[in-house]
Structure 1
């Protein structure tokens, strides 16, 4: 036994150092984001359902909109919902300004510039302010894409946790909501404890991605929010007293702090996209 005691002491000391480092990090706030919307349905609109839950829980989110989608932002209902999102103090950001879910990385520079300018103009026309954030469709970007974003005053926000609920892939259900969030948050916790995540206003934003065009997400969004809190407790992730953002300005500052500014950063992308693009 004496032979192993130094090793046990060293392991215990290392654990104490790790715990001390983790405690030194800013507490976590979940930064909710929604892609691909708004939805165009007149009745039982999933974007409306999501907005109602967020209003009831006094949570603000970032909506990455497709301003000219033929079945969403390009419709009268879609434009109305973009205005509503802004009026309800959410951050309205850009996903794309094409009729379909087009890949920015596959556009030539001139085409992308036109698309981005159209999206910025669309959102300024509906909200009265220029968007500051963009999320690339399919999470696909390179140095040229990023340069185009910056030329239009846009910062790119990716994600830490992904609900894997993307409507565009036909996924309209989930049997693994909790286990998926637990896995993603466990990986994120490692980066947080190592001091590898940015902070803003005294909190560490953990970006979570959903899709407000998905009717399953809309029906279960409240359950998703409770799951986030539950897995954070299970993993001993210190949360802010208010674990979600409730103020648009704080939300936007946190999102900008978490944005990716260099093509060399190579953050982990959700699912198969990391393998495809990196």
Structure 2
């Protein structure tokens, strides 16, 4: 009798766990009109924005960027490819030690929507395990290379434990138009508002030179700069058609 009671108890625990899981899913949706969306920005009354850097090539300015961020007392998010992690492991450790988010930018920077589900998982989890072994960090933020995604990419990322992240303010630093262009593009961007996610690249030619002015300009506008991990909602949210994450608890 005792044996059967334990079996029944175990079954109830499993069912209860499943119900909690299903209940959690019911409180979170990124599906809008049949499409799965990543997070482009966050609806918030707080005057906060997130600054992010994609690290897929080059490393000449990483330390300069870290020095400026430290000086300005700002924390950001770095999305790193597996190739970059392998080539610059000490910089990955330095980013983590400085208190910044470590984000996944895929293993080899391929167009994720052109890969099979299994290939997508491999692109995500290979660099995930590498960063975990190097720093102990279990990454949870994923930015698809080139901003390229479809429904399956978003679903695969979530299945691997990731929040898919895009941006609503593109610095265009990768076009190498110059320092002033980077500053003006960000500070005068039509989408810049509470909850914006700003895209930069650590390997772009003028980003490091523009960074201090960008940070001070954002602060002058009244914005607090936070890592993406501190900006997004983890549960009880839905998305609007523009990929803006909206809390259901307001």
Same fold (TM over 0.5): yes
Give every structure 1 segment of 4 or more consecutive aligned residues whose post-TM-superposition deviation is greater than 2 Å. 36-40, 170-184, 186-189, 226-230, 255-258, 264-268
> Which one of 104, 127, 132 corresponds to residue 94 of structure 1?
104
> Which one of 93, 103, 118 corresponds to residue 83 of structure 1?
93
Aligned equivalents of 1:218, 1:94: Cα separation in 2: 21
Q: Is residue 192 of structure 2 the alignment partner of residue 173 of structure 1?
A: no
How big is the shift at 1:254? 1.3
Q: Which has the higher contact order (CA 8 A, sep 6+)?
A: 2
**DSSP 3-state at the match of 2:104:** strand
Closer, same or farther in 2 for the Cα pair 1:187/1:244, shift >3 Å?
closer
Contact 1:103 1:137 in 2 (8 A): yes
Contact 2:176 2:205 in 1 (8 A): no
Closer, same or farther in 2 for the Cα pair 1:34/1:257, shift >3 Å?
farther
Q: Is residue 245 of structure 2 the alignment partner of residue 253 of structure 1?
A: no
How big is the shift at 1:134? 0.3
RMSD, aligned α-carbons: 2.7
How big is the shift at 1:182? 4.5
Q: Is residue 121 of structure 2 the alignment partner of residue 113 of structure 1?
A: yes
Q: Note the 1:124-203 alignment, pairs <5 A.
A: 124-166=132-174, 171=176, 173=178, 176-184=181-189, 186-189=190-193
TM-score (norm: length of structure 2): 0.70
> Which one of 225, 242, 247 corresponds to residue 244 of structure 1?
225
In the alignment, which residue of structure 2 is the partner of 1:74? 86
In the alignment, which residue of structure 1 is the partner of 2:243? 267
In the alignment, which residue of structure 1 is the partner of 2:35? none
How big is the shift at 1:175? 5.0
After superposition, the C-alpha distances for 1:161-184 in whole angstroms (9 at most, x for unaligned) are: 111112xxx636355335423552
Aligned equivalents of 1:217, 1:63: Cα separation in 2: 14
Contact 1:96 1:119 in 2 (8 A): yes
Closer, same or farther in 2 for the Cα pair 1:188/1:55, shift >3 Å?
closer
Aligned equivalents of 1:253, 1:150: Cα separation in 2: 18
Aligned equivalents of 2:208, 2:118: Cα separation in 1: 36
Q: Is residue 33 of structure 2 the alignment partner of residue 28 of structure 1?
A: no
